[in-house]
Structure 1
Amino acid sequence: MTATDWTPVFVLPNIPLEAAIGCEIAALAPAHDPRVRTLKRAHPSFRRFLSRFADNFGEKFEPSVLLLNTVAPPTFCDVAALASFRDLIALSAITRGRALELQHPRGHRVLFGEAFAIYPWMLDRHYEDVIGSTPAILGTHELSRFKGQSSPALFRTSLGENDIDQPLLASLMARWRRRYEVGEPARENVALMRSLNMAYHASLLPAGTETTFYDVGRVVSLWVSAFEILVHPGGNGQANRDKVFEMIERTCWAKAGSGQLAHDTGGKTKVKRTLASWLYQMLYECRNDFLHGNPVERGNLVLPTPQRTIFEYAAPLYRIALTAFLPLTYNVPRPSAEDARALGADIIDHMDFMRPQKSAEAALLTATRPPTGRAARRARITRPAP
C-alpha cells in the first residue's frame, strides 16, 4: 500500500501526534507522516490548507489528519464509522492518561476529549475550496482567506505510543472493523460503538471558564450512560446498576487489592463487592442526584478519602468495564520452557499487555488512600466548605 492510496477526510488541530495511529482502512496521522507528505506534494492547496493553522497566540503548526484508504468499503466512508474510529482512539488515550494522572499528578497529559475534536472546516474533495459543515453551519469559502485555529480551551499536548493503552486500542480497532464491515453487525459491536460515543462526550470539558459543579454532575451522568449501554441486553430488556456490577465483577484482576469483596454498594440486600463496583455506585448515585433534581452541592462530587472528584475516576473505571466486556485477555500460547529466548519474549509481551490494566487498577486504588504531595495541596485548596 502506497501513500497515494489514502485520502484526507478531516483534520484534528488539537492533538500533536508523534506517530500515526490506525490500520489499513483508516489512520490518524501527523503532518510529517509519509502519506500526508505525499498528499501535500500532489495537492499544493492541501499543503497550503495545513499551513494556515495557528494557536491563539499566532504560533504556527500543522494539524493531524484523519486519512481513509481510497479502496475502503463504502460502510467505512460513512461519518458514523469515522466518528467511531476517532472515539476509540480518544478513549484509548484518555483512559490511560486519567489512570496515570490519578497515580502521578503532573498535568500536561491528554485528559479531555477536545484533544480529538474534528475541525469543522476542510478542503473539498477537489482540493479547491474549504467547506464548513456542522448542524449549525453549511458553507464554502476561499482557501486564501482561511485561518485555522486550535481550541482556546486546552493546550496542544503531544501524544506518543506510551500515552496510549495499546491492548485496548488493538481490541477496539478489531471490533470497529467487525462493526462496519458487515451489513448486519452483531448487537454487541453496535452497543460498543454507541457506548464509546457516549464515553467520548463524557470525556469532554464540562464547560468553559464558567464551569460549575452542576456541569461536572451532568458529565458524570454521561459516563453512567456509557456503562449502561454496554450491558443493555437489547430488545425490551433493561440496563441497570446490577447489570453493570455483574460486568465489572467479571474482571480478571491484576492486583490482589482490586478483587477484594470489601465494599458495601448499598441496596436492600447487603452485598460486598469490589472497589470498582463501589466507585460505580458513587457515579450512579451522583448521576441520580444531579439528573433527578435532588438537592446537590459540590461535596456530592467529592470522594471523602482521596478528596478527589468521582469524575476523575470515571475513565479508568470505564477501562475496567471494557476489560470485562471485550474481554481483554492475553491469549498467546506460552512457548516451550526449553526455548529460553521465545519464553523471555513472551514474558515481556505479557507484561506489556497487562501494564495498562495494572495502571487502571492502581488508579482506582488511590480512592482508598489520602492524597499526598501535589494532590494533597490541591485537596486543601479545593475541599468544599462544610
Structure 2
Amino acid sequence: MTVDWTPVFVLPNIPLDHAVECEIAAIAPAHDSRVRALKRAHPTFKQFLNRFTDNFGAKFEPAVLLLDAAAPPSFRDVAALGSFRDVIALSTITHGRSLELRYPRGHRVLFGEAFAIYPWMLDRHYKDVIGSTPAILGTHLVSSFRGQSSPALFRTSLAASDIDEPLLAALLARWRRRYEAEEPAWDDVALMRSLNMAYHASLLPAGTDTTFYDVGRIVSLWVSAFEILVHPGGSGKANREKVFELIERTRWAIPASGQLAHDTGNKTKVKRTLASWLVQSLYDCRNDFLHGNPVERSTLLLATPQRTIFEYAAPLYRIALTAFLPLVYDAPIPSATDADAFGGFIADRMTFMDPQKTAEDALLTATQAPPEPGARRPRITRPAPQE
C-alpha cells in the first residue's frame, strides 16, 4: 500500500544524506523519493524549496519534516512533531559531543540549531507561505519569499554514522508509545519533556556576544533535563540524589567507568562513579551561576582536562538515557557451534554497544590532562568489556 506523506516543516540548517524516520514521520532530504513526488504533484512546493540560500547566496533545498497523512490526530500536534525532532537531535548531538571529546575539532553536528524548524512554511493548500511563531503570524506570496539558513552555524552534513542508532531506535519507540496512548505513562511524558529541555540545552549559548555567563545558563538547562527525567510524578521530588541513583544503575561497557572512586555529595562524601562526579560538577556549576554566587570563566572548567563541564553534559545525558530506557543488548546468545549465528551475534552486539562505549570514553577524558601544545592528543586505552 502506498503511503501518502504530508510536508509539515522545513529544516534549512541540516543537509541529510538520507532520511531519518519511523513508520509515521520522517526528516527527509529534498532528494528523497517522497519529497520528489510532492514536488512533482505541487509545483508551488518545489518553488518554495528552491528559494533557499545560505547567507552568501549559495542555493540549496532544505530538509523536510514529513508526516504520514493517515497518522492519528495526536501525531499532528506540534508537541508530537517537536518531540520527533528532539529525538533525532539528541540522538545526534550526544554522539557528536562524545566523539568531539575524544577526537577534537571534527566536522560534526554539535548544536541544536542544526535541527531548527523554519518559521515559514507553505499552507496546507500549497498556495501561500505562512509564518507562525509566538512573535509573528502572517502570510505572503511564495514568489516574494527568500529563505535562508542560520547565520550562526555552518550547514554540516549528517550521515548515518553520525547518529546513535541504538538510542534513536529506542527513543522513537517511546515517542510512538507516548503519542499513541490516550493516557500516556508518566515516564513517557517525562522522557519527552526531558528531551525537549535537553534540546534547548544543546542550542548555542548566544551569538557573537556569547559570554561565560551564557554558558553557565546553558549548564542549568542540562541539569533540568536530568531532573525531569528522574521525577517520580505526583508530589514526588526530583533532585541530585535521584540523578545519582539513575546514573549508578548504568550497565557499564568499560570497567573503568564503573569504578566507585570519586567523592560526591556535600558534607557526607559518597564514593560513586566518574559519571556521578560529573553530575556533581554540573550541579555545583549550576548553583553558582543561577544563585548569583561569584563566578569566573574558571568556574566552568574541570581542573584536570581543562575543559568546560558544558562539553560533558551531552555524553552524560546519553549515559542517563542508557539507564532510563534501559539500553541493553538482550538478544539470546546462539550456540557457539553455529559459527555464522555466533559471529553475527558478536558483530551485532559490538555495533549496539559502540555508541555506549564512545560516550563512556568521552567521560573518561575528564581524568586526562590536556596535551602539550603541538602534541597529538593521546588515544584512550580501555580494558576489554565485561561480559
TM range (shorter): over 0.9
Cα contact 1:97–1:163 (8 A) shared by 2: yes
1:327-367, Cα deviation, whole Å (9 max, x unpaired): 00001111222221111111111000000000000000000
Structure 1 285/343 Cα, relative in aligned 2: closer, same or farther at 3 Å?
A: same
Query: CA separation in 1, counterparts of 2:214 and 2:376?
Result: 24
**Structure 2 match to 1:47:** 46
**Structure 1 match to 2:119:** 120
Query: CA separation in 2, counterparts of 1:291 and 1:332?
Result: 45
C-alpha displacement at 1:55, in angstroms?
Answer: 0.1
Structure 2 letter corresponding to 1:156: R
C-alpha displacement at 1:376, in angstroms?
Answer: 7.5
Q: Unpaired runs of 5+ in structure 2?
A: 378-387
C-alpha displacement at 1:140, in angstroms?
Answer: 0.1
1:256-302, Cα deviation, whole Å (9 max, x unpaired): 11001010113222211000000010000101111111111111001
Query: CA separation in 2, counterparts of 1:374 and 1:55?
Result: 35
Structure 2 letter corresponding to 1:262: A
Q: Does 1:345 align with 2:323?
A: no
Cα contact 1:265–1:273 (8 A) shared by 2: yes
Query: CA separation in 2, counterparts of 1:376 and 1:214?
Result: 31
Query: CA separation in 1, counterparts of 2:82 and 2:215?
Result: 24
Q: How does 1:21-100 map to 2 (within 5 A)?
A: 21-100=20-99
Query: CA separation in 1, counterparts of 2:149 and 2:70?
Result: 31
1:123-182, Cα deviation, whole Å (9 max, x unpaired): 000000000000000000000000100000000000010000000000000000000001
Structure 1 letter corresponding to 2:103: H
**Structure 2 match to 1:381:** none
Cα contact 1:252–1:324 (8 A) shared by 2: yes
**Structure 1 match to 2:323:** 324
Q: Does 1:109 align with 2:144?
A: no
C-alpha displacement at 1:370, in angstroms?
Answer: 1.0
Query: CA separation in 2, counterparts of 1:315 and 1:60?
Result: 32
Cα contact 1:105–1:374 (8 A) shared by 2: no
Structure 2 letter corresponding to 1:55: D
Query: CA separation in 2, counterparts of 1:305 and 1:229?
Result: 30
**Structure 1 match to 2:240:** 241
**Which secondary structure does the structure 2 equivalent of 1:92 belong to?**
helix
**Structure 2 match to 1:18:** 17
**Which secondary structure does the structure 1 equivalent of 2:295 belong to?**
coil
Q: How does 1:131-142 map to 2 (within 5 A)?
A: 131-142=130-141
Structure 1 letter corresponding to 2:73: P
Query: CA separation in 2, counterparts of 1:377 and 1:239?
Result: 42
Cα contact 1:105–1:375 (8 A) shared by 2: no
Structure 1 354/377 Cα, relative in aligned 2: closer, same or farther at 3 Å?
A: closer
**Which secondary structure does the structure 2 equivalent of 1:18 belong to?**
coil
Query: CA separation in 2, counterparts of 1:373 and 1:149?
Result: 41
**Structure 1 match to 2:354:** 355
Structure 1 376/128 Cα, relative in aligned 2: closer, same or farther at 3 Å?
A: farther
Q: How does 1:219-230 map to 2 (within 5 A)?
A: 219-230=218-229
Cα contact 1:302–1:310 (8 A) shared by 2: yes
Query: CA separation in 2, counterparts of 1:128 and 1:183?
Result: 34
Structure 2 letter corresponding to 1:117: A
Q: Number of residue pairs matched?
A: 377
**Structure 2 match to 1:369:** 368
Query: CA separation in 2, counterparts of 1:372 and 1:205?
Result: 26
Query: CA separation in 2, counterparts of 1:377 and 1:113?
Result: 29
Structure 1 373/43 Cα, relative in aligned 2: closer, same or farther at 3 Å?
A: farther
C-alpha displacement at 1:374, in angstroms?
Answer: 7.5
1:162-218, Cα deviation, whole Å (9 max, x unpaired): 000000000000000000001100000000000000000000000000000000000
Q: Does 1:191 align with 2:190?
A: yes
**Which secondary structure does the structure 2 equivalent of 1:201 belong to?**
helix
**Which secondary structure does the structure 2 equivalent of 1:10 belong to?**
strand
Cα contact 1:7–1:70 (8 A) shared by 2: yes
Q: Unpaired runs of 5+ in structure 1?
A: 379-386
Query: CA separation in 1, counterparts of 2:91 and 2:329?
Result: 17
Query: CA separation in 1, counterparts of 2:366 and 2:295?
Result: 21
What fraction of aligned residue pairs are identical, expressed as a percent? 78
**Which secondary structure does the structure 2 equivalent of 1:100 belong to?**
helix
Structure 1 letter corresponding to 2:107: H
Q: CA RMSD in A?
A: 1.3
C-alpha displacement at 1:54, in angstroms?
Answer: 0.3
**Which secondary structure does the structure 1 equivalent of 2:350 belong to?**
helix
Q: Does 1:313 align with 2:296?
A: no
C-alpha displacement at 1:375, in angstroms?
Answer: 9.4
Structure 2 letter corresponding to 1:260: Q
Structure 1 letter corresponding to 2:176: R
Query: CA separation in 1, counterparts of 2:189 and 2:96?
Result: 26
Structure 2 letter corresponding to 1:159: L
Query: CA separation in 2, counterparts of 1:173 and 1:266?
Result: 35
Query: CA separation in 2, counterparts of 1:185 and 1:147?
Result: 41
**Which secondary structure does the structure 1 equivalent of 2:65 belong to?**
strand
TM-score normalized by the length of structure 2: 0.96
**Structure 1 match to 2:178:** 179
Query: CA separation in 2, counterparts of 1:375 and 1:9?
Result: 48
Query: CA separation in 2, counterparts of 1:166 and 1:271?
Result: 34
Using the TM superposition, name which of 226-235 and 332-341 deviates more: 332-341
TM-score normalized by the length of structure 1: 0.96
